[in-house]
Homo-oligomer: A and B are copies of this chain.
Amino acid sequence: MNEASSGDTLLFLTDEQLRQGIEAMFFAYRGFTSAPDQILEGMDYGRAHHRALHFIARVPGMNVKRLLEILGVTKQSLNRVLRTLIEDGLVDSRVGTSDKRERHLFLTEKGRELEARLSDAQRRQMRSAYRQAGPDAVAGFRQVLEAMIEPQVRATYASLREGQG
């Protein structure tokens, strides 16, 4: 609500509107993570494992550096998670063919099973929300979310969509 007091058309930018959006985002994110969290509790895994599984499933054969960029954590942090997934036989780490320094990550059958369970639960939750809100709302939802992604991260996000959009 800066210059141009054009009243009506900018009402969606009032502080109160923004605050409601902020709170909706806070509560919705809890709902967003709750289904996979419930599956994971009791297992020795957490949200971090879920994220790793998700993106390895999404881009099979991706190397560690790429996964680090996507997740936005340090390699020490990722390594703790990745190690247990490899030890437990959910993830397969293969030496690169062209560049042997790299490790390429794949899900094993066991890994695919867990990832599928988690994804199904999360999609079910998401599908329900989408269905309630309808297609036009979903389009707007996506537009706002994409505008919220930080510029440095946007390239990473976009690259995930290429080739499988």
Contacts of A29 in B (CB 8 A): 25, 29
Interface string of A43-85 (1 = CB under 8 A from B): 0000000010010001000000000000010000000000000
Contact between A23 and B157 (Cβ–Cβ < 8 Å)?
yes
**Best-surrounded residue of A11, A19, A28 (most CB of chain B within 10 A):** A28
Closest to A36 in B: B22
A-side interface residues toward B, CB under 8 Å?
Answer: 1-2, 9, 11-13, 15-32, 34, 51, 54, 58, 72, 119, 122-123, 125-150, 153, 156-157, 160-161, 164-165
List 6 extra interface pairs beyond A27-B157, A31-B149, A139-B140, CB under 8 A: A12-B135, A13-B127, A19-B119, A28-B144, A133-B147, A136-B136
6 nearest A-B residue pairs (beta carbon) = A140-B140, A137-B140, A129-B147, A141-B144, A28-B148, A132-B147
